[in-house]
Structure 1
Amino acid sequence: MKSLADLHALRDKLKADIKLRKNSGTKIVVGMGTCGIAAGAREVMKAILEELSKRHLIDVQVQQTGCIGMCEKEVLVDVVRPGEARITYGKVKPEDVPKIIADHVVNGRIVEELVVGKIEQED
Structure 2
Amino acid sequence: MKSLEDLKKIKERALEMKKLKEGEARVIITIGMATDGIAAGARETMKAIMNFIRERQLDDVMITQTGYIGTPEHGPIVDVQIKGQPKVRYGHLKEQLVPRMMEQHVLKGEPVNEWTLKIEEEA
Give the unaligned 5+ runs of structure 2.
Answer: none
**CA deviation after TM superposition for structure 1 residue 56, in Å:** 0.5
Pairs within 5 Å for 1:73-88: 73-88=74-89
Q: 2:29 aligned with 1:13, yes or no?
A: no
Cα distance change on mapping 1:110 and 1:12 into 2, 3 Å: same
**CA deviation after TM superposition for structure 1 residue 20, in Å:** 4.0
**CA deviation after TM superposition for structure 1 residue 12, in Å:** 5.6
Distance 1:24 1:117 in 2: 22
State the TM-score, normalized to the length of structure 1. Answer: 0.85
Distance 2:111 2:104 in 1: 7
Output one character per residue of 1:69-122: Cα deviation in whole Å (capped at 9) or x when no partner.
311100000000111111000001101101111110111011111101111112
Q: 2:29 aligned with 1:28, yes or no?
A: yes
State the TM-score, normalized to the length of structure 2. Answer: 0.85
Cα distance change on mapping 1:14 and 1:73 into 2, 3 Å: closer
Q: Aligned residues, how many?
A: 119
Cα distance change on mapping 1:17 and 1:117 into 2, 3 Å: same
Determine if contact 1:20/1:60 at 8 Å carries over to the other structure: no
Distance 1:31 1:15 in 2: 24
| Structure 2 counterpart of 1:84, one-letter code | Q
My pick for the range that moved more, 107-116 or 20-29, is 20-29
Higher Rg of the two aligned structures? 1
| Structure 1 counterpart of 2:16, one-letter code | D
Distance 1:118 1:104 in 2: 13
Give the unaligned 5+ runs of structure 1.
Answer: none
Q: Give the equivalent residue in structure 1 for 2:39.
A: 38
Distance 1:24 1:10 in 2: 19
Distance 1:67 1:84 in 2: 23
